[in-house]
Amino acid sequence: MRTTSAIWGCLKEALRGEKDTEALARMRSLIGKLDTHPGFFEEDETVRTKLDAMNQKISFEFVDTPLVDACAFLQSLLKIKVTAVEEGGAGTPVTIRVIDMKVSSALRWIARLSGSRMQIDGDGFVLAKCDQSGKVLKK
């Protein structure tokens, strides 16, 4: 493990010319915590998986695809749980074309187009249908 001063030296070199002194001070403070809290920046495997999945860029097209099927496709693609919760099970149709978009943005668009809200669940993501006031319907 690198020492705090070695890490700070690498960052300082990488950020040469950076004018935001407040941001640099915050980074130095965070790096200082590594000595006292070595696990500070460690991520749980499930958190890392979700973050990696959210940052992937994907391309796909749905034409009148039921929300449940769209979520199943994304789940198979991302290897994390993506679930749709709808009343009645009719399957709200989703039409969207995505080209090189981050998964986080694509999920937000699908939620918006289907009248759903995106929520983080312990295992993955849930797109839950909302009523007209924006309140999430019961699961």
- Whether 96 is in a domain gets the answer yes
Look at residue 53 in the predicted model and tell me its pLDDT.
78
Q: What is the CATH number of the domain that holds 56?
A: 3.55.50.10
- Whether 11 is in a domain gets the answer yes
Look at residue 60 in the predicted model and tell me its pLDDT.
93
Q: How far apart are CA 118 and CA 124, in angstroms?
A: 10
Same domain, 61 and 23: no
**Span 72-93, mean pLDDT?**
81
DSSP 130: B
Please, which pLDDT band fits residue 1 given cuts at 50, 70 and 90?
very low
The number of distinct structural domains making up the chain is: 2
- Whether 139 is in a domain gets the answer no
Range of the domain at 25: 4-36
- Whether 137 is in a domain gets the answer no
Burial environment of residue 58 by CB neighbours within 10 A (0 to 12, 13 to 18, 19 or more)? middle
